Amino acid sequence: MTAKLTRLAQTATESDCTAMLDELLNFGSEELSQAAQNDIISRVTGKAEKEMTDTKIKPKKKIKRKVITFLVAAAILLPTGAYAAGRLFHKDNVEVYLKGSERIEQNESAIKNYVMENEDFRITIDSQLSDGHNVMMIETYEGKTRYGRNYINDMADFGAKSEYADGTEIDLDYTWGIEPIDSIHMRRGGHAKSGDAKVKVYSCNGLNIQNDIKMTYYAFAGEEGRTKLDGFEFTTNFKPNVKSVELKSADGKKLVLSEFEIYSPNNEKIGDQLGDSIYSVSQNVSLIKTNGEKYHFSPENKTSALKDHIIFGEIIDPDDFKGVEINGVEYLK
């Protein structure tokens, strides 16, 4: 973009830019792909350039200049191939796993709406939440062609090679303490708005969460092993981006309550004592509101007890609670 256009964009206020950016990103209630974002920028800047170089602009057209300024400013801020602002593209997908996803939308630190695509596939990182102990990623896979749709129906998954910024490889499956703890796959035709959604929960144990990680996605190709998907790269880190509070029992045992889970900071088992039944968790785990009332998770929500943590089927605000109760034992702030 020319320096002239940049100066033009700078005359718009921050609120102008934010409002227009939100409108652009949520145009027609549909997600904007990388190509669509580039198209918007091209058309907006092209129109602005024409207005600026047209020596025959009539006085009444000057009113349009401010509107174009806002568009250009929004285009400058448009996160092409980066983290998009505004409401979640696939909110229905996220709601399958986390009720109350409005908190994600309001969380400026949370990663959301990261789109990677080619002619066959579109992968969207709908959200990534981290409390420093675990990282929850919700992804939506979409097939754009018959081949892409058939692949998703048959394979239902994509692989991801990961490495630190310095090129040191990390095996997400087996090493560095980042083994996926839980993976819940929802097939097409379920509650999702479109495509397939998947939740992946990674442990932060043994990982330097301050370091950036580049994840390169690939498709499985039968006997050929795997095929790298050009342009399907996601650079992120596992720094905490949600609220967390420490809790203690009467005998001094510690737990942490975050927006999406309860976990043991000492990696002690807390989920094993509950079994793997969602119903059992909903009956034996409750959050204690600030007024003392007990809040139980609905069995319909996908709350799960897993090793040293309990993943919620909804996102909560830890400030609304003074503690938790697990099998009759209270852990309070």
Distance CA 63, CA 60 (A): 6
Please state, rounded to an integer, the average pLDDT across all residues of the chain: 74
Dihedrals φ, ψ of 42, to 5°? -60, -45
Domains 91-236 and 244-332 share a fold: yes
Distance of CA 295 to the CA centre of its chain: 26
Tell me what pLDDT residue 298 has: 84
| Mean pLDDT of the region 81-101 | 73
Please name which of 204, 180, 331 lies closest in space to residue 270, comparing C-alpha atoms.
331
C-beta of residue 97 within 8 angstroms of C-beta of residue 302: yes
C-beta of residue 37 within 8 angstroms of C-beta of residue 83: no
Q: Is the pLDDT confidence value at 330 over 50?
A: yes
Cβ neighbours for 58, distance < 8 A, ≥ 6 positions apart: none
Instruction: Decide: pTM greater than 0.85.
Output: no
Cβ neighbours for 259, distance < 8 A, ≥ 6 positions apart: 103, 129, 131, 242, 243, 244, 315, 316, 317, 318
On whether the 244-332 domain is CATH 2.60.40, my answer is: yes
Tell me what pLDDT residue 83 has: 41
Which token pair is 173? 């499956």
Which token pair is 29? 């209630």
- Give the architecture (CATH level 2) of 91-236: Sandwich (2.60)
Residue-level length of the chain: 333
Q: Is the pLDDT confidence value at 329 over 90?
A: yes
Tell me what pLDDT residue 238 has: 92
Please name which of 305, 256, 115, 85 lies closest in space to residue 195, comparing C-alpha atoms.
115
**Interval 267-308: pLDDT, tens:** 888 866 665 556 678 888 999 999 999 999 887 777 877 778
Please name which of 165, 128, 144, 108 lies closest in space to residue 36, comparing C-alpha atoms.
144
**Interval 214-250: pLDDT, tens:** 999 988 876 667 788 888 999 999 999 999 999 999 9
**Interval 240-269: pLDDT, tens:** 999 999 999 999 999 999 999 999 999 888
| Mean pLDDT of the region 156-172 | 82
| For the chain, domain boundaries | 3-77, 91-236, 244-332
Q: Is the pLDDT confidence value at 207 over 60?
A: yes
Tell me what pLDDT residue 232 has: 92
